C-alpha cells in the first residue's frame, strides 16, 4: 500500500502546515519528481493535499483508510505486502494469485468484491460498506493443528475488535453471529504438497450495513454505525500480535 518513504512523506505532512517539495526530496534523498509521485499516490488513497508552487504541500484531510495505514509499520513483520483495491473480483483470489508468484505474506483489502466467495464456492455478495479482506501466508512447516490455530486467531481478533465497541459477536463454526443472526464469516483455504502446506489464505467478510432486506448487519442488529477502517485496523493489528507465536509461519 505505502512503502517506508511514502509513509515518511505522510508523517512529515502530518507534522507541519506547509512542507516544500525540496525539503521532502532532501530528507528522503529522492528527486522532486519522486516526491510528486508519492503525493499523487497519497491523494489516490483519499488524502486531501493542497499544493502551491511557492509553499509546497499541505495535508488538509486524512483518508478514510488512514486507520489501516497508521498500523502499517506495526504489522510489517507479519505482512510484507498490503494490497488495497476499491473494487476487485475477490480478495481471496487476489491473495492466491500473488502467493503463486511472490514469496511474501500479504493482506488484500477491498471496498467492494464483485465475485466474493463463501464456503463450497457459494456466492458472497460484497457491496461497499462492509469489511472484506484476505490474509495470505507462505509457511515453511505447517500442519493441520497450525491451520486451526491461525483461523482461530482471526476469529478471536474479530471478537476483540467488536468487543472494544461494546458489540458481542459469537463464533459458530466459521460464522460470525449476533443475536442468532449471521453477519459475517471466515474462509480458510490451503494448498499442500504431501502433508506440508505450501500456502494458506484466510478470508474474512463482515456486513456492517445492510445491502438487502434479507441480510442482517451490525447496524440492523445493534443500531451502531462503525468506522469500517478502524475496525479493520483493529482486527489486523490484533491478529498480527498473535500470529507471531504460530510455529511454522514464515516472518
pLDDT digits (tens, 9 = 90+) for 162-189: 999 999 999 999 999 999 999 999 999 9
| pLDDT of 230 over the 80 cut | yes
**66: nearest Cα among 84, 51, 46, 83:** 46
pLDDT at 197 over 80: no
Summary mean pLDDT of the chain: 92
Instruction: State how far the Cα of 170 lies from the Cα of 158, in Å rounded to an integer.
Output: 10
Domains of the chain: 4-61 (1.10.10.10), 66-243 (3.30.930.10)
For the segment 70-82, the average pLDDT, to the nearest whole number, is: 93
Average pLDDT over residues 27-50: 95
Backbone angles phi, psi at 151, to 5 degrees: -60, -45
Q: Give 49's strand partners.
A: 59
Q: How does pLDDT run across 114-156, given as a tens digit for each residue?
A: 999 888 888 999 999 999 999 999 877 777 778 889 999 999 9
DSSP 20-32: -HHHHHHHHT--H
Q: Would you say residue 195 has pLDDT above 80?
A: no
11-23 residue pLDDT tens: 999 987 899 999 9
Q: How far apart are CA 128 and CA 62, in angstroms?
A: 20
Amino acid at each position: 500500500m505505502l512503502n517506508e518513504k511514502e509513509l515518511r512523506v505522510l508523517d512529515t505532512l502530518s507534522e507541519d502546515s506547509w512542507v516544500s517539495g525540496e525539503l521532502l526530496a532532501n530528507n528522503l534523498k529522492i528527486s522532486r519528481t519522486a516526491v510528486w509521485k508519492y503525493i499523487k499516490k497519497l491523494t489516490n488513497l483519499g488524502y486531501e493535499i493542497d499544493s502551491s508552487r511557492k509553499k509546497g504541500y499541505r495535508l488538509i484531510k486524512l483518508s478514510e483508510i488512514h486507520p489501516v495505514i497508521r498500523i502499517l509499520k506495526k504489522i510489517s513483520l507479519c505482512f510484507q505486502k498490503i494490497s488495497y483495491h476499491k473494487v476487485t473480483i475477490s480478495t481471496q483470489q487476489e491473495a492466491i494469485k500473488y502467493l503463486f508468484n511472490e514469496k511474501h505474506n500479504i493482506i488484500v483489502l477491498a471496498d467492494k468484491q464483485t465475485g466474493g466467495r463463501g464456503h463450497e464456492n457459494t456466492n458472497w455478495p460484497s457491496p461497499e460498506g462492509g469489511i472484506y479482506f484476505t490474509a495470505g501466508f507462505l509457511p515453511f512447516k505447517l500442519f493441520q493443528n497450525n491451520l486451526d490455530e491461525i483461523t482461530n486467531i482471526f476469529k478471536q481478533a474479530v471478537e476483540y475488535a467488536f468487543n472494544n465497541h461494546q458489540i458481542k459477536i459469537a463464533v459458530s463454526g466459521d460464522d460470525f453471529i449476533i443475536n442468532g443472526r449471521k453477519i459475517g464469516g471466515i474462509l480458510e483455504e490451503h494448498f499442500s504438497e504431501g502433508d506440508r502446506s505450501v500456502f494458506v489464505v484466510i478470508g474474512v467478510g463482515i456486513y456492517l450495513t445492510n445491502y438487502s432486506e434479507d441480510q442482517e448487519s451490525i447496524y440492523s442488529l445493534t443500531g451502531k454505525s462503525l468506522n469500517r477502517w478502524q475496525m479493520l485496523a483493529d482486527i489486523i493489528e490484533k491478529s498480527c500480535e498473535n500470529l507471531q507465536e504460530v510455529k511454522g509461519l514464515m516472518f
